[in-house]
Amino acid sequence: MSTTSDYERMLRSAALRVTAPRVAVLAAVHDHPHSDTDSILGRVRQTLGAVSHQAVYDVLRALTAAGLIRRIQPMGSVARYETRVGDNHHHLVCRSCAAIVDVDCSVGAAPCLTASNDNGFVLDEAEVIYWGLCPECAQQTHP
């Protein structure tokens, strides 16, 4: 469970000025991983009142650039944000209802994530999205 002071500490550790919108966005993303911009905006407005879409967009960009939040964008989806950063975890995405679930990084267990030929690139991330049906949707398809 994170508190306001945790978010303030995260901002300072990333050399970002502590502002109410930044704290509110961090809290909203932390409490609801894989949220899109509109739902983050809705939650920030519940906390702070009137906040412009542009302000939240700017905060999301600053937090992403600082590495405090991670932006993912599965094909066919709008951008989504999460505070679980730095562990190169992957995502399960449901083709039917677009549910998104975290899954730990497979490095070490799945040889396909070690590029068979890195072509001289210095690799620091393998972005993997596992597509399929979540349990609820699979149940509906194959009752």
Strands 70-72 and 80-82: antiparallel
Among the listed ranges 45-53, 59-67, 91-99, 122-130, the one in contact with Zn ion (CB under 5 A) is 91-99
- For 78, the 3-state DSSP assignment is coil
Applying CB under 5 A, which of residues 102, 103, 107, 130 lies at the interface with Zn ion?
Answer: 102
Q: How far is CA 135 from CA 6, 104, 120, 132, 140, in A?
A: 34, 19, 40, 10, 9
Rank residues 51 and 98 by Cβ distance to Zn ion and give the closer one: 98
Give me the least distance between CB of 97 and Zn ion, in Å please: 3
**Contact call for residue 68 and Zn ion (CB under 5 A):** no
Residue 32 exposed, middle or buried by CB count within 10 Å (0-12, 13-18, 19+): middle
Applying CB under 5 A, which of residues 96, 114, 139, 140 lies at the interface with Zn ion?
Answer: 96
Among the listed ranges 15-23, 52-60, 104-112, 128-136, the one in contact with Zn ion (CB under 5 A) is 128-136
End-to-end CA distance of the chain: 38
- Residues in contact with Zn ion by the rule CB under 5 A: 82, 94, 96-97, 99, 102, 134, 137
